[in-house]
A = this chain, B = another copy of it.
Amino acid sequence: MSSDATEERVLEAVRARRTLVNDALDTDVPMQSPERLYEATRYLLEAGGKRLRPTVALLTAESLADVDPLTADYRSFPALDGSEVDVMSAATSIEVIQSFTLIHDDIMDDDDLRRGVPAVHREYDTETAILAGDTLYAKAFELLSNTGADPANGVAAVSRLATTCTQICEGQALDVEFEHRDAVLPEEYLEMVELKTAVLYGAATSTTALLLDADADVVDALYQYGIDAGRAFQIQDDVLDLTVPSEQLGKQRGSDLIENKETLITLHARQQGIDVESLLESTDIDAVSEAAVENAVATLDEAGSIEYASNTATDLVERAKNHLEVLPDNDARSLLCDIADYLITRGY
C-alpha cells in the first residue's frame, strides 16, 4: 500500500477511536464539585490531542481478541479467558496519565502553551495545576482497578501502570538533569526517552494485554512494541520541533533548541563538532525569530544530524513492527503496524 493510503487508513482508525475515547473521557473524568478543580482536570483533555495511546490500547485489544475492528463493545470486551473486560477504561487511564504528566511537566519546564492553548498553570495557576494533575493521577488508578477483569490480571495491570508512572518521573528527572549537565551520551538520552515517553506506550499495550489474559510472552512482546514505537515517536517529536512551523505545532518552533534541551539531534551535532549553544543567540523563547530558527536548522541539517535522528526512529519502528508477530494476523494488527510507521511519517 502506498504511504499516503497507509496514512489515510491510520488517520481514519485514530479518528474513529478518538471520538469514542473522548466520549468515554466525559464519563470517566466527569465534571463535578469542587468545580474549579475538575474544570482544570478537564481543561487539557478538552483541548484536543490525537489520542494515539488509547487508540493503540484499543487496537491491541481488538487484535488479541481477533475481532473485526470497531465491532465489539469496548466496555464489555471479550477477554481470552471468557470474561468481559472494560478495555476502554484501560485506554482512558493511559490518556489520563498522559494528561497528568503534561500538566506537571509544563509547570516544571515553565512552558506557556500546550496543544495551542495556554498550559493549565497559565490558564489557572500553579497550585490548581499541581492539584489537577494529582487528581487525574488518582483517577487513572481508579479506572484501571475497576475494569471487571479477572482480579489477578487487574492487579497485574495496576502494578504495571504504577511502575510506569515511577519510570516517567525518573525520565522527567533525567530530562531536567541533562539541561544542567555538560555532556550527555546518546545512549543516556535514549534511556531518558524510554523512561519519559516510551514506557507509557508500553503500558498502553501491556496493561490491555494483561487485562485480557494474554500469555506472558505476548504481554512482553507487546510491551516492547510500545517501547520501540514510543522511542521513535519521541525522536520524531524532536525532529518536528525543528522542522514544523509554530502554528502547526501549537507551540514555538525550535523551543527545545532555544531552551537548550538536549535531543538526539543536538547530541549528534556536538559529535560533529558543532557548537550547539551558539546556534541561537538567545534562550528567551520570545526573542528568537523564525528566521534564526531556520538558520540553526539548516546547520543541523548540513551536519546530517536531522537525518541521523530520522534514521534512528526508522530503525526503531522496524523493531516495533517485528514484535507484533505474536498477535493474530488480522486488521487490528495491521493497523498497529501502520501506526508505528505513521509515528515517523506524520507531519505534526
Which residues of A come within 8 Å of B, CB atoms?
A: 33-34, 36-37, 104, 107-108, 126-128, 130-131, 133-135, 137-139, 141-142, 145-146, 150-152, 154-155, 158-159, 161-166, 169-170, 172-174, 176-177
B37/A138 in contact, CB under 8 A:
no
Contact partners of A33 in chain B: CB under 8 A: 170
A170/B127 in contact, CB under 8 A:
no
Contact partners of A141 in chain B: CB under 8 A: 141, 158-159, 161-162, 165
Contact partners of A142 in chain B: CB under 8 A: 159, 162-163, 166
Contact partners of A104 in chain B: CB under 8 A: 130-131, 134
Contact partners of A139 in chain B: CB under 8 A: 162, 166
Complex formed: what's the CA distance from A138 to B133 in Å? 13
A172-B108 contact in complex given A34-B177, A145-B162, C-beta closer than 8 Å: no
Contact partners of A158 in chain B: CB under 8 A: 141, 145, 155, 158
B151/A155 in contact, CB under 8 A:
yes
22 A-B contacts, Cβ less than 8 Å apart? Answer: A107-B126, A107-B130, A108-B127, A126-B126, A130-B130, A131-B173, A131-B176, A134-B137, A135-B166, A135-B170, A138-B162, A141-B159, A141-B162, A142-B166, A145-B155, A145-B158, A145-B159, A146-B159, A151-B151, A151-B154, A155-B158, A158-B158
